[in-house]
Amino acid sequence: MGIYQIEENLLRAESFIAEEGYSSLQHACLELRLSIEKVVYRKLAKLGDVIPPAVYKAWQPPRAMKLLLGFEPRADKPATVAICLGTVDGGPSGEWVELGEYRMLPVKWLNKNYNKLGKFLHETCLEEASNPVSLKPEDLEKMIVELRKVDESDMVLGFNRISDFECDCCRTKIYVSDSQINDCSEISCYNDLCGAVFVVAPDTSEQFKTDRKFSNSDFACKDCGDKNSLDSVWKEGYLNCWSCKQRYFVAWEKVKVAYAPESK
C-alpha cells in the first residue's frame, strides 16, 4: 500500500476514465481531487498535535501547501535520505545507508492541477453542449502517474520544530517553524480579514521573538474597540474592521517636497 493511501482512489479514477463519457470523467476528477487532498493533509498531519487538523482541513490544498512551504521551503522537492554509521574525527566516514526516498507534489503542479480539476467539476451547472470538454482523459492519466509516484515513495518527511504565537490584532494562532525563525521570515496572519504582518527572529537559544512589520500603523475600531492593522493596505481605499466589519477609509498622506533655498 502507498504511504498516502490513495491507490484505491487512483484505481477508481482509472476505471472511470476507461468508461469514457463526460460524467465518468467528472467522477475521475473527483477521485483525483480527493487524492491530492489526502496527500497534502497527510503531510500536514505529520506535524502531530502542534496544528489541530480542524485548522488546516478548512483550507483547500493550495493554501495548506503554502503553509507547508513556509515551514519548510524544501517541502515540495524530492530527496533521498541516507545515514552514515561510521565517524572519523567527528565527520562521517564509510558507507552511507539509504533510508528511503521522499517525493512530494511540486506546489506549482498542485495549484495548476487542483484548480483544473475543480473547474471541470463545476462545469456541471453549465450547459454541456455550449461548453466543450476542456479536460482530456490523457490529462487525467498524466496526473495519475504523478500522484502514484508520490504515493510509492518511501517516506513522509517530518518537520523541524513548530512553535506558535498569537496575532496581536485578531488573536488568531499563527504557526512558525524553526527554519522560518532562523531566516527571520515575514509571516502574514492567517485571518484574511486581519492582514497583520509579523517578522519572526531568534531571541535567546530556546526562544523566538515576533515584531510587527509596521508596528505604528494600528488603530482601534471606533465601534468595537478591537485593534486593526494597516500592514496589508498599500493604496487608498476602504477597509473593514476584522471584528465588527465597520468600514473605514484609508488615505495615505502625500509626501510633500517644497523648494526651500536658504537666504544668503
Which stretches of the chain bind Zn ion, using CB under 5 A?
Answer: 167, 169-170, 172, 189, 191, 194, 196, 221, 223-224, 241, 243-244, 246
Nearest to 52 by CA among 139, 202, 173: 173
Q: How many angstroms separate the CA atoms of 178 and 97, rounded?
A: 27
**Smallest separation (angstroms) from Zn ion to the CB of 123:** 36
For Zn ion, the closer CB: 51 or 156: 51
**Smallest separation (angstroms) from Zn ion to the CB of 36:** 28
**Smallest separation (angstroms) from Zn ion to the CB of 238:** 14
Rg (CA), the chain: 25
Q: How many angstroms separate the CA atoms of 206 and 208, rounded?
A: 7
The answer to whether the CB of 7 falls within 8 A of the CB of 92 is no
DSSP run (H or E) holding 43: helix 22-45
For Zn ion, the closer CB: 41 or 190: 190
For Zn ion, the closer CB: 140 or 194: 194
For Zn ion, the closer CB: 24 or 188: 188
Where in 11-78 does DSSP place strands (E)? none
For Zn ion, the closer CB: 172 or 210: 172
**Smallest separation (angstroms) from Zn ion to the CB of 245:** 7
Nearest to 191 by CA among 177, 208, 174, 203: 174
For Zn ion, the closer CB: 107 or 221: 221
Centroid of chain to Cα 254: 36
Where in the chain does DSSP place strands (E)? 79-88, 91-102, 162-166, 173-177, 186-188, 197-202, 208-212, 219-220, 227-228, 237-240, 247-250
- What is the CA angle 226-230-234, rounded to 5? 155
**Smallest separation (angstroms) from Zn ion to the CB of 53:** 21
For Zn ion, the closer CB: 15 or 240: 240
**Smallest separation (angstroms) from Zn ion to the CB of 223:** 5
**Smallest separation (angstroms) from Zn ion to the CB of 216:** 17
